[in-house]
Each structure stands twice: as structure tokens, then as C-alpha cells.
A and B are shown apart, each in its own frame.
Chain A
């Protein structure tokens, strides 16, 4: 990424993305006065050399923002996407995501939160460039057109490149409400575009956090306290320092850091430490947590939704069904292990990190180093995967604590074991559901009780009120099915385990319990699982549309080859909807997933290619988890270590995948997570169709062990 581009001074047209128009002075470099003071970084910038730079307030973690966000600008700016420069933004209030409340990349909001602001930025720049040309040629602006980086006055055969116009354009007032192109005129948005950064990634040139190298830099690894509630008892610093290449041993909050010339020496030093740890008071263990949850789920929690009288409807129903589901803790395992590089000097702190949370990082860095936030320089690198893990900044904290002690640039690199054993886990969920069917096989009432450790209580405490985590009911309390009497209650379970946002938070477990239970009800009603869902989703609703589209695409009504079975599931994540059909066969005792078909509605689509990639990626992420993944705890410590005991799906287990989109003119909603939640229930429902065995505890491999 060419940071220099945005530091270059000279004539430039700078258009604020989120900043209020009135406060803009569209001149000079971001570091100059005027605009710079207001918001030195949230810019679309065009310089006199025709260099168009999009400063991305979103991190590139595989979702393709490096391409899709410039596409949004390009549509209005009339400038080729492939010629745009992209730089990752420093922390700046101008990049606050209105949906997330901070400068973060998460919650599938990258397109949703930038779609209007980026179109507006492109359109403002275009109108200013056209106005500048019209003024120069003394013609009406309406007679000029902007196309492909040039303003043209066709009648007089005059034209000027954007770069030739920026100085004049920058002196003009910024149009507050520029005219946006009508949807019918779009030529960029909605057309599949291959990613602009593929060659960099295919040649090893793309720089991830772990690739940062600085003169004089040392590398640190940490002997991390294994127990979530534990502490260090003792260690042999002298023995570690005897290892060739080891430079320092530094106690940090998460354990003991060994600083060395390279990763291997640091690891050898870490082994030589012979560190001893205490498990601490009440160390969490899976066995206790699960037992507590099973007891808790029998009682009513804080009521999050109460339509009609579910208890009465169930009591008076023709048929009743009840079941309890258990989903395990999960780790994120991004491909790039956690890491960060920091240099603490008298002047301030410079940090390089693959982070989803620039704003939080900035404040944490400042606090640890004892400097003001403006003394923090934070460079965001490429992220080797995020999935919610890099919303946390614990790895940055490690780097800054060590760098503060050693005063030279330090890169901390976690081992895969550290990554799996020191995550912010997808919380386990225990869900008790009961429902009554009326004489016509319709759901008369449903009651669900969820026990799940709140992520919000730790990460966004202000939102946790009256015992309710407002996100915990995603995919459960916001049920789309027509159910006249519905009751949802929630128990936060305090466990001592750090929990965090994991692809499609909450919905990733709730969709499984809900859709498994709906399947159980269909079976009790003697209805086909797809038909039963249709019975409860009115025609014309978005939910019904995706359900029907998935079923039709998968050929639900056509017979399958012998030994192949189908399952269907529907899910929501925020404003997005999905339905998935899984086809499985049994390989002896183990299920083999042959095919997954999903229909999704994510509103307006910017880049169909990256959307398809995101949905299939999320589906496989969900499939890996459903098949084999679980994190368990003994005496406060994680039992799993590496990819041999926390397995992820590989080439040999990839099903055929089809993704179809519901055409939509609605606002864009999220795309990065919606593929995950429906996969587990579609597969377990297919397993029920194949074997008659209802899976009520994940992962699936536990049942077939």
C-alpha cells in the first residue's frame, strides 16, 4: 500500500466521505490546514497526476473491500476502478461506522455502511470537476460530461483530464447533494469484477501483519497463562536468556514474553523458561459449564419477546414437541495467527497490525504506552482472515507491552496453539424449545429459552440491559415464521471464558436450534420439511422468496439418487436472509455432504463475484464447525492445540456449492456472514432424513464417533 500517495502535497481535490459538507475546505493535502484539521484521512483524493486514491476505512480481510468499495466510488466518479489506488485508513473519527459505533470492520457492514457515502463522494468530485471544466471553457456544465477520468465538451471537441482540473475544482464549493446516477445507468455496481489485489496475493507481495519487518526489529513469543482465570507462578528467565538469539524476557499481562532475533529462537527461549502457572480460582471447565447450562435452561430467563400466550397455546395444542439443543464453544482460527508490531519511542507509538478495530486499538495502545491517542500511529496491514477475531486487540496489547519494555521495534507472533487456546470464543448455547401444533399441523405456540454467555456484556456493556443481550436473540427471537403465540427468554451465563464475535454471532448457533426444531415440528405434523416451512412463511415475504428460490434451485421436489438425502434450513443475519438445501449421503457411519445450495437476499449487490465468494466461504466456515469443531476447557485451559485436534475442512471434503441471489433494489445489507448459520441445520436435518437420528448436540462428529 502506498502511503506516500496520500501524504503527497500539491494541488488536489479532496472530498470528505462522512464529514459534513459545510465543514469542508477542499484544498491541499490532508496534512495541510483547513480540511486536514477537520478530518485528515477520510478522503477520496484526486491529485494533479490523475492519481485517484480511495482511503479505506475498512480492513481487507478477504471480503474484497479493496475492490468493491472503489467500485462504488468509480460508478459516480466515472473513473476506471483498476486505476484507483487504495490505502488503508489510519484511525480517524471520520471512519466511524454508524452501525458499529466505531471505526471497525465487522457485522457485515462494509458495503452497507459505505454505499451512500462513497457514491456521494464520487458524485461530488465529478460535479466539481465538471463545473471546473465548464467554467474554464465558459460553457454550461450541463453540456459537459465526465467519462473515464476526463471531462469532455463534445460540441467544441474540448476535453481535460481530471488531474488538469483538480486545482480549479478544489476552489469550488462542495455540492451538498450531488445528483446520483439512477440505478438503470449503473455500469459498475452490480457487475462482477475480479479483485484488484489477486496478483499481490499470488506472488507473496501482499503484506500481512506477520510480514512486517523493520530495521532492528526483534521478534517475541509469549508463554501464555493457560488458564483463563490463572496467573504466573514462576519461570527461569536466566535459562531462556542462555538460548542463542534471545535478547530479553519480559513479563506481560498475558504471560511471559521472550524477545529474540527470530521466531525460532524466541520459541526455544519460551520452552527454556519452564514457566509454571496457577489455574486460579474457579477455573472454568466444560463439564461444569454444560451442567449449569442444562439446569439453567429449565428456568425462565429475562423475557425478550412475548407474543400472545405461548404457555397456554402449547398446553391446549393437539400435539406438543420439546427438545433441547447444545452448541459448543468455537475458535476462529484465522489463517494468519495473531500478531502485531510495535515501536514505542519518546515521541509516541507506531504500530502495524492486521486489525478489524482501529479505533479501539488506538485507545488501548495509547493507554498502555501512556501517550495521547494522537501520538499513536497505526498502520493497518492486510488481514489473513478476520471472522470477528481481529475485532479484539489483545495481540496488539501484547506487542505494545513488550515494545514499551524493550524500546526497539518488536513483532509479537502467536503460535497456532496460542491462537486456539487464547481466543475470544463463540459462546456455547443451550436452547430449550417447546411448541404445540394445532389440529391442522400449524404452530399454535412456541417457547424458547436460551442460555448463552453474553458477548455484549463484555464488549458493549452499555447495551446489556435488564438481563438481556439485544443481539443474543438473533436468529431465535426474531423468528420469521408465523407463530401467533411466541415466548423467548434469555439467561446470560457467567463462565470466566472470554467470548467474542464469531462469523454471524448468535445466529450461528440459534439458526441451528431453531431450524432443527422447526424440522422436528414438521416431522411431528407429518409434513414435508419444505412444505411445513412454506405453511408458516406467507407468500410475498422476503423469507418465503429465499426459501422457495433455494428449494427450486436445489430441485427439492425431484427424486434423489439412492442413498442421498436432503435437508433444508432458513436463516437471517441482521437484514440479510438465506435458505440452504444440503444433500448428504452416509459413508458407513459418517455423513458426507455432497452439495449445498443457497439462495440469499442481501439487498443491492455491488460485486456479485465477491458476494458469491463470501457466501460460499461462510458456508464452508459453518460446515467445518458443524462437522467437527468444538473447544472444550479443563481446569480453565483449552484442551485443543492445533489443526490436528481442531480440524478444518480441506479440499477433499468440499461439497458442490451453488449460490443464487434474489434480485433486489433494496439497500445493501450484509454479505460476509449470512452463509454460515443455515449450514449446520440443513446438514443435520438431512442426516435426520437419512438416518432418523436427530442431532441435538454439535459437532456432528460427536454423534457419529
Chain B
């Protein structure tokens, strides 16, 4: 049994210690906004925040996550009113949308540390894959959110 605090709510999760956090979130707790894309820390679709840091939840175990503050896309802003979510709408970012929760969580961690990121900062922090190729609008939307335009 692990006690996982997700979006401020404590969950008792019955899982083996090596289960990746991703599957505890998706299959046990039932929050499906965090996506599975590769399972090997390559794509970033599964990005959540662990104590405020971006983490690829497919490659962090349940045991490692216990006792940390876990935030998923559902907990970023209940109404979808986080500046990044507003910017995503303003810049018409998603196509299929599947990678977007991970992109937004990665961007949110970036903005939390660097409120006005440069293009180089964005390139460095945003290593998530978008198979639809929304990259240019993702970049633009991060700037938009940082500048408080949306």
C-alpha cells in the first residue's frame, strides 16, 4: 500500500513498489489526462509534477512517488484557467491533442522556474514529442502565457 497525494487528494494505492506512477494514476486512481506514449521516458506524454518538478511518470515508481506532492493535468487548474491552458486555446495549439497534457505540464514546470523563458530555454525544457508537429504553436503559446497575453 502506498499513499499517493495526487492533486491534493490522498489515495491508498495497492500496487507493487516497482509499478510506474503512470499506471497507478491511470489504471488505479482513474485519472486519464496523463497519457502513455512510450513507457521509457522518451516522449513526455506522461509528464506530471512531483513536488513542482516535471517528471515522466512512466519512469518513476510508485514507491519513489509516495510522500511527494503529485500534480496531474487535472490538478493544474480545475477550470482549465491556467495561463498555459488559456494560451493553448488562444494559439489554437493542439491537433490530435494526445501529447498536449504532457506538453502543458512540462511547460508549466518551466514557467514556474523561469517566468519569462527564452527560445533557448523552451528548446531545452520542451523535449516532449508531438507526432502531429504542433511544435511552433507550442512555443508561441508558452511565450503568450509568459507574457500574460492570453
Contacts and interface: CB of A to CB of B under 8 A. Distances in A.
A465 interface: no
A382 B96 contact: yes
A416 B37 contact: yes
Interface string B131-150: 11111111100000000000
A204 interface: yes
B94 A198 contact: yes
Nearest to A621: B133
Interface in A132-179: none
A210 B95 contact: no
B126 A213 contact: no
B93 A416 contact: no
B123 interface: yes
A413 B32 CA distance: 14
B19 A613 contact: no
A651 B95 contact: no
A593 B20 CA distance: 37
A264 B20 contact: yes
Interface of A: 60-64, 194-195, 197-208, 210-211, 213, 219, 244, 261-264, 268, 333-337, 382-387, 413, 415-416, 609, 613-614, 616-621, 642-644, 648-652, 654, 657
- Report whether over half of chain B's contact residues are helix, strand or loop; otherwise say mixed: loop
Given A211-B32, A262-B27, A264-B23, A613 B39 contact: no
Given A203-B101, A335-B96, A336-B37, 19 more contacts: A62-B96, A199-B80, A199-B85, A202-B101, A203-B33, A203-B73, A206-B97, A211-B32, A262-B28, A334-B96, A382-B96, A387-B131, A416-B42, A613-B134, A619-B133, A643-B40, A650-B126, A650-B127, A652-B123
8 contacts: A202-B80, A202-B84, A203-B76, A210-B35, A211-B32, A609-B92, A621-B131, A642-B39
B42 A644 contact: yes
B148 to A, nearest CB: 17
B100 A202 contact: yes
A138 B139 CA distance: 58
Query: Do most interface residues of chain A lie in helix, strand or loop, or is the interface mixed?
Result: loop
A484 B50 CA distance: 66
A620 B45 CA distance: 19
Contact of B85 (A64, A202, A385, A609): A202
B96 A202 contact: no
B9 interface: no
A64 B101 CA distance: 18
Which of A203, A262, A657 has most B Cβ within 10 Å?
A203
B123 A642 contact: no
Interface string B51-63: 0000000000000
A337 B94 contact: no
Given A335-B43, A609-B92, A654 B136 contact: yes
Interface string B15-54: 1100110010011101111111111101101000000000
Contact of B129 (A261, A262, A609, A648): A648
A335 B99 contact: yes
A62 B132 contact: yes
